Structure 1
Amino acid sequence: MLSSARSIQEIRERLRVELVDTRGRAIGDTTVHEAHFGDAGLLHRAFSVLLVNGRDEVLLQRRAATKRRFPGLWSNTCCGHPGPGEALVDAARARLTDELGIRVATLEVGGAFVYRAADPGSGYVEHEYDHVLVGEFDGEPPDIDPAEVSEVAWRPLDEILRELDGAGATAFTPWFGQVVRETRELRGVGS
């Protein structure tokens, strides 16, 4: 199973991503691997999805141990990269289905932010123009992909915010705090 997960990761590293400038305008494309390799990483388009249930809890995932960047850390429901020219919402919906077996009718597009984070364990760099999308979902993910996700949990947003402000922040991916803030602003969740 571990070698299968690694093979899936290697295939995903060869997918194309859209390079952008600091305003989010497309300027070219490259592979996932090349976008994350090197000291600075190449600024590219990404998305982060956060699903909220009827109790104002958010669905988190713990990234699989086989992930090349930030393995084993808690993060938003899912994240990924649209291919060059691919519609953002379509890419996000596909990723939700691939990673968790979740289908949602609506994803609301919120803000976007630029961040850069080096993974000390792998040497890879995340340098992304990250769009935040928020959707509603009640229940448990029906089909978790173990190459991507090791576990999921529903958590109250106010509890997560306290952890992000305290010693628990190291349990989360570097971009997650900004995703939570964008979600809170967009939906008023946890305010």
Structure 2
Amino acid sequence: MNREQALVELVDADGLAIGSTTVADAHTAPGLLHRAFSVLLVDPRGRLLLQQRAAVKTRFPLRWANACCGHPAPDTDVATEASRRLAEELGLTGIPLKPVGVYVYRALDQVTQRVEHEYDHVLIGTVDGEAASPDADEVAALRWAHPDEVRRALAAEPESYAPWLSGVLAAWDAATAGPDG
């Protein structure tokens, strides 16, 4: 099936399911709020795996983003669907993913005129030597970067990064800050 015709779960501002539509319809302006996920992968040195989105992506092509993103099908488990996409996009399997928060955002891609309006579940996994084998239809390039380096780059050249990446990092930061912040 064409990924643009797959179903996504529409949600309200509280993340409660209110229906479904296709990926294509959810991302057509003005954009419909729907469930999504973003996976951060961290290595033992504390670096994040970043992927440069493939040129054929319909939203924010060739921008750097977190390791993997996607949309769970309606009535499915977010972590299970995120693991499935991790295997499809990067060839990585068996990596336990931990939910760390939710980030809601809306962003218009000026190049493709598609809209991201997502209730984004942020998950984190740890990799230790697993070698990724990216799908060229999904990923143009991969690189490891320290989180502080990513934050500096996001501030200096935001147009090179997916618009959700800063919010995904903030959700991770909030979850790992501890009770005293």
TM-score bracket, shorter-length normalisation: over 0.9
CA distance in 2, matches of 1:141, 1:63: 18
**Counterpart in 1 of 2:137?**
147
* TM-score normalized with structure 2 length: 0.94
Q: Secondary structure at the match of 1:146?
A: coil
The aligned amino acid for 2:61 is: P
**Counterpart in 1 of 2:85?**
95
Question: What is the 5 A alignment of 1:113-132?
Answer: 113-132=103-122
**Counterpart in 2 of 1:107?**
97
Residues 104 and 137, structure 1, Cα contact 8 Å, conserved in 2? no
The aligned amino acid for 1:182 is: A
Residues 104 and 135, structure 1, Cα contact 8 Å, conserved in 2? no
**Counterpart in 2 of 1:178?**
167
**Counterpart in 2 of 1:168?**
157
What's the Cα RMSD here? 1.5
For residues 85-133 of structure 1, give each alpha carbon's deviation from its aligned partner in whole angstroms, at most 9, with x where no partner exists.
0100000000000000011342110111211000001111000000100
CA distance in 2, matches of 1:149, 1:73: 10
Instruction: Give 1:141 deviation, angstroms.
Output: 3.7
For residues 107-165 of structure 1, give each alpha carbon's deviation from its aligned partner in whole angstroms, at most 9, with x where no partner exists.
11011121100000111100000010001012354321011000100100111111222
The aligned amino acid for 1:124 is: R
**Counterpart in 2 of 1:73?**
63
The aligned amino acid for 2:166 is: G
CA distance in 2, matches of 1:145, 1:88: 21
Q: State, as a whole percentage, how many aligned pairs show the same letter.
A: 48
- Identify, as 1 or 2, the structure richer in helix: 1
Does structure 1 residue 30 correspond to structure 2 residue 18?
no
Unmatched 5+ stretches in structure 2: none
For residues 35-55 of structure 1, give each alpha carbon's deviation from its aligned partner in whole angstroms, at most 9, with x where no partner exists.
0012x2000000000000000
* TM-score normalized with structure 1 length: 0.89
Unmatched 5+ stretches in structure 1: 1-7
1:51 to 22, 33, 41: 41
CA distance in 2, matches of 1:73, 1:125: 15
Does structure 1 residue 187 correspond to structure 2 residue 179?
no
